[in-house]
Amino acid sequence: MRVHVADHPLITHKLTVLRDEATPSSTFRALAEELVTLLAYEATRNVRVEEVTVQTPVALAKGLAISSPRPIVVPILRAGLGMLEGMVKLVPTAEVGFLGMVRNEETLQPTTYAERLPDDLSNRQCFVLDPMLATGGSLIAAIEYLFKRGAQDVTAICLIAAPEGLEAVKKATEGREVTIVIGALDEKLNEVGYIVPGLGDAGDRLYGTVD
């Protein structure tokens, strides 16, 4: 598993505002979108491309185009949805699939309540979006799902991760082509499975509390 922790003052600045409990949902949503666009730059470093030639007003120019099959972007609902626009802005030709997962806040185990993905992901490069990588349970389940359907490689973009969760994903995906790109690697998980210092419940901060 390849892990890339973004080290850029602009990313840290935006994350700092995101973490602040005084930041309202509207600003939180705007920042989550901006952050994913910045992180996507690194996450798409190995996106498959092919050589193409275009005619400029002056001469022929060799360049690159994203090749087929198109990459697929998979936000994990709910919170991952807050990252979707920022990602598709950068890769407008990507296809989008959805996975709905919720973590039981007592057992910390994820359950999948929705899925809308192509049955066959053979040869597809998949980009999973989820702002928080805490115990890693949700991301591990999502990655397993994609590889079972034939995905070639999976890159996850997370805004904040806990070391415990990263380690769990690494163990669970051994031998697989997995990359994790994160905005910040925080200190630890607390006794109720929240990232410390983190930013609280990302879904609630984006969309409000649901009981």
Which H helix or E strand runs over 146? helix 137-148
Nearest partner of 140 among 108, 183, 184, judged by Cα: 108
Strand partners, 185: 161
∠ Cα 117 176 88 (to 5°): 40
Residue 15 interacts with ligand URA (CB under 6 A)? no
Phi, psi at 54, each rounded to 5°: -125, 155
The amino acid at 209: T
**Per-residue interface string for the shown chain with ligand PRP, residues 130-169, x marking contact by CB under 6 A:** xxxxxxxxxx-------------------------x----
39, 40, 76, 134: which one binds ligand URA (CB under 6 A):
134
Q: Is 201 annotated in the active site?
A: yes
Among candidate residues 107, 111, 116, 120, the one labeled active-site is: 107
Residue 198 interacts with ligand URA (CB under 6 A)? yes
Contact stretch for ligand PRP (CB under 6 A) within 4-12, 17-25, 111-119, 200-208? 200-208
Contact stretch for ligand PRP (CB under 6 A) within 22-30, 38-46, 95-103, 173-181? 95-103
Cα dihedral sign for 23, 27, 29, 35? Answer: negative
Q: Is 70 annotated in the active site?
A: no
Q: Is 93 annotated in the active site?
A: no
Residues annotated as part of the active site: 103, 107, 201, 204
